[in-house]
């Protein structure tokens, strides 16, 4: 993510923090926190991608370490957010496809998605579309906006062949662009 993208990324996330339980954060991240996250992930050779649509940053995706202990070094957790009002147009698909390829290049072998189970199907369906399967459910581990929320753990492996493979899945014409920046 380029410094110029930080405001847009922060705004996309802040909307979900304030208005949804898709994230268990209760306060939006500051620009400084986003910047630090981007630098940290870059130092780990992990991707932080943004997607552009109509000249705007309309979504982002990154992968972070699943756990800090070194034995987990080949396992990452993904995070994909598309701007409110820009969903349902293929951006999530584009971002996750590119993210998985970049994760494979970075040496990741397992990707985990931690999905707040809110009854909203988009995230689960997106991950299923890319071969993620349910690895487990953590019951009532989240509490936000006055409700207890389960998280669904979804997982897929990244064969080495994914580096060269087209992982965009069943296609869309004229996809939005994504770019990887450090």
Contact positions toward ligand COA, by CB under 6 A?
A: 16, 22, 78-82, 87-93, 113, 115, 121-123, 125-126, 129
Distance CA 169, CA 164 (A): 14
Four-point Cα dihedral 169, 170, 175, 179, nearest 10: 0
Report, in Å, the least distance between residue 182 CB and ligand COA.
Answer: 21
9 contacts 1 by C-beta, under 8 angstroms: yes
Report, in Å, the least distance between residue 116 CB and ligand COA.
Answer: 7
Report, in Å, the least distance between residue 58 CB and ligand COA.
Answer: 9
Q: Which of 91/100 has CB closer to ligand COA? A: 91
Residue facing ligand COA at closest CB distance: 92
Q: Which of 90/101 has CB closer to ligand COA? A: 90
Report, in Å, the least distance between residue 120 CB and ligand COA.
Answer: 7
Report, in Å, the least distance between residue 163 CB and ligand COA.
Answer: 22
Closest CA to 103 of 93, 95, 114: 95
Q: Which of 35/168 has CB closer to ligand COA? A: 168
Q: Which of 16/131 has CB closer to ligand COA? A: 16
Q: Which of 70/88 has CB closer to ligand COA? A: 88
């Amino acid at each position: 993510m380029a410094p110029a993208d930080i405001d847009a990324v922060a705004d996309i996330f802040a909307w979900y923090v304030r208005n949804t339980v898709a994230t268990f954060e209760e306060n939006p991240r500051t620009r400084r926190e986003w910047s630090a996250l981007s630098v940290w992930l870059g130092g780990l050779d992990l991707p932080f991608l943004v997607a552009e649509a109509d000249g705007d940053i309309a979504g982002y995706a990154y992968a972070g370490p699943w756990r800090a202990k070194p034995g987990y070094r080949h396992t990452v957790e993904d995070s994909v957010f598309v701007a409110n009002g820009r969903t349902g147009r293929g951006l999530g698909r584009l971002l996750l496809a590119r993210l998985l390829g970049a994760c494979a290049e970075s040496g990741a072998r397992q990707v985990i998605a931690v999905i707040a189970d809110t009854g909203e199907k988009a995230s689960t369906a997106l991950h299923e579309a890319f071969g993620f399967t349910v690895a487990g459910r953590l019951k009532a581990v989240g509490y936000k906006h006055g409700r207890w929320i389960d998280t669904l753990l979804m997982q897929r492996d990244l064969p080495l062949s994914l580096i060269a493979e087209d992982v965009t899945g069943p296609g869309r014409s004229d996809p939005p662009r994504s770019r990887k920046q450090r």
